[in-house]
Amino acid sequence: MKKILKNKKATAGLVMLLFFAVLAIAGPFVITDNPILTGSVAAGRMPVAVVSAYPEWYRDFTGNPSYTTNLFPLSNAQFSDPSELKMWQNSTTSSGITVSYNSNESLGVKGSLQINFNEAGNVTLTTQFYYPYVVPPPEYATELYYSVQTQSQTGTAGNITMYAYFLHQLAEGPKVLPAMTNYTIPDSNTPFTLLPYHIICSLDTDLYREYGLNPCNTIFSSPGSYSFEIVVQFQGNATASGNPTVLLSNVNLLVYGNSFGLLGTDDLGRDLFSQLIAGTQVSFILGLVTALLTVVIGLIVGLVAGYVGGATDEVLMRITDMLLVIPSLPLMIVLVFVLGQSLLNLIIVIGFLGWMGFARTVRSAILSMKERSFIEAVKSAGGGRFYIIRKHLIPNVFPLVYITIAMAVPGAIVTEAALSFLGLGPQDVMSWGRILYEYEISGNIATGAFSIWYWTIPPGVCIAALSLSFILIGFALDEILNPRLRER
């Protein structure tokens, strides 16, 4: 270990490798956004940010007020605690309508806001927030879970309708979103429960008809105090409709900015930094497991062919030669198509097509070693075949194992990146190569890789840096373990 630390190449490689190891290990505890699917813990099922958002630090770096960030007016509206009702003001049009907290019902989380309709009428729920930017947001979206429950119904059905509004303190009237839902309670003699979720956003065509192509320009015309209101309306005979009860929970309101996170978002609104961290984990797993698989297969084939010799050696080496002359990339493409595009299948394909060179190296070392006098001495003393392999041959070829592992990891990482860039990478995980593939199919490739550099440059640099770290370590191990290169 001291010799490794004294080697400058090894030290540089270990520092770079440690950096990526920290990213891979600590990343999942820091990043909560899904790298493959839109949405996150904070935004629920809504996209975490707008499409192709700039990095958030652009605003601080440039001082340009046109760069805005996400605004969460509702910091906590899951109603997991009765105190969360305080953030909402409620008003009803009838004394027969009550608003309370329900700790027993669950819409994915503990607790909900409960509205009981013993008469027809409306309930208006209001919360206030401040919009600080001089430019309108590019989009906004609201998500909520709701449940409509009734007792046994005996007569004419009723209607439950929910709306949402934005009110500006200087506006002449409400800025109306389309109805979130318009549900007709069925005419039935059995209780009924409905449990969906709903998302409304500024991209709704009804808003385009009302405000034109840029609804946000009208709704958020200037900075100031705004109110967000949800109106739940019941029309019909409450008793005949089974005294409907509406439960609300997981209310998320997100006023989007045009910048987000450390690296912005891709063309689907997914966090690029989360994808980069996920790619670090995938590269470590794929590189190390593939290298170990390559070394194990090559070591076994080389040992058996070199020590046993004869027909066994001839068969194993002809199979090795056949695999060596077959172009590896076309063969990998065919195998990935046959097996499927998953991380496990990619590890298997790369591992089983990368052992041939190492097997030939091990065979050459064994052929030279088994003729030496100390091996003949062990045989004369009664040492068996497996004893000689286990105690003498394997320990003497182990320096080759260390070097091969260090050199095979970057090869596996680059191969995965190449296959992913061609659209043949694993579809169950996000890798650095897949990030580049997503950019390729986004339609932005015609403008050049530097046009959206925060999408294309970081994964390319990470692929090169992680590969370089293993290469430096491999060169250092070769200098330390190879007597011909060992420094005196």
pLDDT at 151 over 80: no
| Closest by CA position to 439, among listed 428, 427, 425, 452 | 452
pLDDT at 49 over 80: yes
Instruction: Tell me the Cα Rg of the chain.
Output: 32
- Total residue count of the chain as it appears in this document: 488
What gap in Å lies between CA 79 and CA 362, rounded to an integer? Answer: 65
pTM, entire model: 0.81
Q: Tokens 């540089």 label which residue?
A: 12
Instruction: Write down the pLDDT at residue 179.
Output: 47
Percent of the chain with pLDDT over 90: 9
What gap in Å lies between CA 403 and CA 401, rounded to an integer? Answer: 5
Q: How confident is the model at residue 13 (pLDDT cuts 50, 70, 90)?
A: confident
Instruction: Write down the pLDDT at residue 225.
Output: 85
Q: What average pLDDT does the chain have?
A: 80
| Closest by CA position to 368, among listed 406, 323, 414, 400 | 400
For residues 327-351, average pLDDT: 87
Q: How confident is the model at residue 460 (pLDDT cuts 50, 70, 90)?
A: very high
Percent of the chain with pLDDT over 70: 84
What gap in Å lies between CA 188 and CA 192, rounded to an integer? Answer: 9
List, for residues 127-143, the tens digit of each pLDDT value. 888 889 988 888 888 87
| Closest by CA position to 215, among listed 128, 129, 140 | 140
CATH classification (class only), 71-255: mainly beta
Instruction: Write down the pLDDT at residue 481.
Output: 67
* Most confident option among 93-97, 381-385, 455-459: 455-459
Q: How confident is the model at residue 5 (pLDDT cuts 50, 70, 90)?
A: low
CATH of 272-481, one of 3.30.230.10, 3.30.530.20, 1.10.3720.10, 3.10.270.10: 1.10.3720.10
What gap in Å lies between CA 49 and CA 42, rounded to an integer? Answer: 11
What gap in Å lies between CA 472 and CA 4, rounded to an integer? Answer: 11
Higher-pLDDT residue of 407 and 175 is 407
Instruction: Write down the pLDDT at residue 200.
Output: 63
Domain boundaries, the chain: 71-255, 272-481
Q: How confident is the model at residue 183 (pLDDT cuts 50, 70, 90)?
A: low
List, for residues 185-227, the tens digit of each pLDDT value. 555 544 445 445 556 666 666 666 666 677 788 778 788 888 8
Q: How confident is the model at residue 3 (pLDDT cuts 50, 70, 90)?
A: low
Instruction: Write down the pLDDT at residue 432.
Output: 92
pLDDT at 172 over 70: no
What gap in Å lies between CA 14 and CA 4, rounded to an integer? Answer: 9
List, for residues 81-128, the tens digit of each pLDDT value. 777 777 788 888 888 888 888 887 666 667 888 888 888 888 988 888
